[in-house]
Amino acid sequence: MKARNIFIAAIILVLLGAYYYAFEVKKKAEDEKAKASSDMLLPGFDAEQVGNIYIKNSSTEIQLKKKGEDWIMEKPLNTEGDRASVDGIMSVFLHGKFSRKLEKINPADFGLDTPQAKIIMSVPGGSKYEINFGIENPADGEVYASKAGDPGTAYMVPSTLRAACEKTVFEMRYKKPLDIDGKKTDRIVSNIRGKEFTLVKDKDVWKFVQDSEDTIRQDRVGSLINTFTLGSAKSMETAPAGALSTRGLSGRADSISFFAGKKEARINFGNKDPKKHSVYAKNNQTEEILELPENIYDSIPKPEELVDGRVSYFDESLAYKVQIKCGGKNYAAEKKAGGKWEISSTDMDKKAADGISPETVVYNIAWMEYRKKTQPAAGADIAGLYGITHDNNRISIFDKNGTLIGGVEVGKITGNNVYVRLQLSGRIYEVNSSFVKTLNIPGMEVK
C-alpha cells in the first residue's frame, strides 16, 4: 500500500512538472519572444534569403542582385556591388524597430505620399519587403515610414533606417583597387619606381623568381596583398579620351599584377595629387579611373624590402633571461610565472634599471634587420674598425635551460647605421642606428 502511494505521488509530481513547463516556462518564453518581436518593423525578416534589393532616393536609383555570395549592381551601372555596404543595410533592417505606430493617417502629412527614400528587398519566389520613408519628426529625430499595401499606417523609426536607403552609387559599388583572392594568388609581378621583381608561390612559400638565395618575409607579401584586398578607392571617374593622359596613365606606367593561374589582375599607377594625398590608377577590371589614397602606392615594397633581413631571429616565447653589460654596469632580468619579467641582479641605479623593458629588448633583438653585411679581413682590428668589444654594449638572451638563443655586441656609428656583432655566429652587420634608441638602455652609447 505504501509503495502504491509513493508511485501515485511520483506520477502526480511528474504531471505537475509537465504542466508547469508547458503553461508557465514555455508560455513565458513564448510571451517574451512575442513581446520582443511586437515592435520589429519587419517581423520574420530573413536577411540571408534576400536576393534582390532596389533603392531609390533623391539622388539615384540602385538595383542589386545576389549571385552566390556576391552582389551585382545592375542599375545604374553594371558592376560588382560592395558586399560590406549591402551587409550593413541588411543588418539595419534585420534589427530595425519602431517606437510608435500611427494608424489612419494622411500620408501627405508625414511626407509618405512622395517618399524621400524607398527600399524593396525581395526573396526570390517568396516575400517582398517594401518600405517608404518620409519626413523627420523634429521632436526626437526619428523618421516616419510606411509599408507597401498599408499607406494609412505610419511607423516612427530610427533615422538610421532611412540613412541606409540614402546611399550613393559609389557607396554601393565595389571600391577595392583590385578584385583578387589572396589564397589563390600564385604569382606577383611588380614594376614600381623603376624597381622590378617577380614572386612565385611554391608550396605556400613565396620566393623570388630571380636567381637569389634571399629568403622572403612571408608576412610582408601578405601585407602587400592585403593592401589591395582591404584598401578602398576615394572616388572613381569615367575615362573619356584624353583622361588617361591627364592622369598620367597613358603609355608605360608603374604597375603591379597579381596572378591566379593565367588570370591576371593588374593595376597601373599615374600621377599623384599632393593636396589630396591621392594617386590615380587604372586597373584591368573596371572602366573607370580610380582615385586611391597615396599610401597604397607608397606601401608597395622595393624588392630588397621583401628580403628577410633578420640576423638574430629566434622564438621570443623561449626567451627566459636577459643579460646586459654597458657603461661598466651589469643588468639581468628573468621571466617569472605568468610571463612577468623581474630584475634578478644589477649594479645600475634603480631608476635606470627600472627604465629597461626586457620585453622590448627581446623583441628588438629578434626582429633586428641588417642594412649591410660586413666581411672583416682575417686578423682585423675589430675594436678599432667597428667599435665592438666583448665587455661593453653587450646584450645576451637565454632560454630556460641557460642556452644562448640570441645576442649582440653593439659597436660604433657609421653614417645612419651602427655596427653589431652576433654572439652566436660572430658575423658583423650594419643595422639602423635607431635600433639602439628603441632598446632604451641607459648607458648604452654609441659614437
Render pLDDT for 405-417 as a digit per residue (tens, 0 to 9): 999 999 999 999 9
Neighbouring residues of 98: CB distance < 8 A, sequence distance ≥ 6? 39, 40, 41, 145, 155, 156, 157
Q: What pLDDT sits at residue 7?
A: 60
Neighbouring residues of 399: CB distance < 8 A, sequence distance ≥ 6? 318, 319, 320, 321, 405
> Is residue 216 located within the same domain as residue 298?
yes
Task: Tell whether 10 is covered by a domain.
Answer: no
Over 60: is that where the pLDDT of 440 sits? yes
Sign of CA dihedral 227, 228, 231, 237: positive
Distances (CA, A) of 26 to 12, 14, 35, 239, 290: 20, 16, 14, 63, 57
Confidence band of 35 (pLDDT split at 50, 70, 90): very low
Q: In whole angstroms, give the CA distance from residue 322 to residue 335.
A: 9
Q: Which long-range CB contacts under 8 A does 399-403 form with residues at least 24 apart?
A: 399/318, 399/319, 399/320, 399/321, 400/318, 400/320, 402/321
Last residue of a domain, one of 280, 306, 332: 306
Q: What pLDDT sits at residue 20?
A: 61
> Is residue 368 located within the same domain as residue 389?
yes
Strand ranges of the sheet holding 341-346, from the earlier edge strand across to the other edge: 341-346, 329-335, 321-326, 394-398, 404-414, 417-422, 428-432, 370-374
> Is residue 58 located within the same domain as residue 97?
yes
Nearest in space to 120 (alpha carbons), one of 64, 76, 54: 54
Q: In whole angstroms, give the CA distance from residue 321 to residue 307.
A: 29
Task: Tell whether 135 is covered by a domain.
Answer: yes
> Is residue 323 located within the same domain as residue 392?
yes
Task: Tell whether 54 is covered by a domain.
Answer: yes
At 324, the amino acid letter reads I
Q: Kindly state the helix (H) or strand (E) to which residue 311 belongs, with its residue range.
A: none
Q: In whole angstroms, give the CA distance from residue 382 to residue 422.
A: 13
| DSSP one-letter string for 228-289 | HHH---SEEE---TTHHHHTT-SSS-EEEEEEETTEEEEEEEEEEETTTTEEEEEESS-SSE
Neighbouring residues of 142: CB distance < 8 A, sequence distance ≥ 6? 99, 136, 156, 157, 158, 159
Q: What pLDDT sits at residue 15?
A: 65
**Number of domains into which the chain is organized:** 3
Supply the DSSP symbol for 302: P
Task: Tell whether 257 is covered by a domain.
Answer: yes
What does the H/E/C string look like for 126-181?
CCEEEEEEEEECCCCCCEEEEECCEEEEEEEECHHHHHCCCCCHHHHECCCCCCCC
Q: In whole angstroms, give the CA distance from residue 153 to residue 335.
A: 68
Last residue of a domain, one of 306, 335, 369: 306
> Is residue 106 located within the same domain as residue 129?
yes
> Is residue 374 located within the same domain as residue 272?
no
Confidence band of 442 (pLDDT split at 50, 70, 90): confident
> Is residue 144 located within the same domain as residue 95?
yes
Task: Tell whether 36 is covered by a domain.
Answer: no
Nearest in space to 212 (alpha carbons), one of 303, 299, 301: 303
Confidence band of 34 (pLDDT split at 50, 70, 90): very low
Q: What pLDDT sits at residue 419?
A: 95
Distances (CA, A) of 37 to 30, 32, 167, 425: 11, 9, 27, 69
Confidence band of 2 (pLDDT split at 50, 70, 90): low
Does residue 170 contact residue 235 with C-beta atoms inside 8 Å? Answer: yes
Q: What pLDDT sits at residue 26?
A: 52
Range of the domain at 324: 316-439
Over 50: is that where the pLDDT of 33 sits? no
> Is residue 218 located within the same domain as residue 290?
yes
For 380, the grid coordinates are: 682585423
Which of 29-33, 72-76, 185-189, 333-337 is least confident?
A: 29-33
Over 60: is that where the pLDDT of 65 sits? yes
Over 60: is that where the pLDDT of 32 sits? no
Last residue of a domain, one of 282, 306, 330: 306
> Is residue 329 located within the same domain as residue 390?
yes
CA-based Rg of the chain, rounded to a whole angstrom? 33
Mean pLDDT of all residues in 199-225: 90
> Is residue 393 located within the same domain as residue 415?
yes
Q: What pLDDT sits at residue 286?
A: 86
Task: Tell whether 276 is covered by a domain.
Answer: yes
Does residue 405 contact residue 318 with C-beta atoms inside 8 Å? Answer: yes
Task: Tell whether 32 is covered by a domain.
Answer: no
> Is residue 272 located within the same domain as residue 337?
no
Tally Cβ neighbours within 10 Å of residue 406.
Answer: 25
Q: What pLDDT sits at residue 78?
A: 87
For 121, the grid coordinates are: 528587398
Task: Tell whether 392 is covered by a domain.
Answer: yes
> Is residue 159 located within the same domain as residue 252?
no
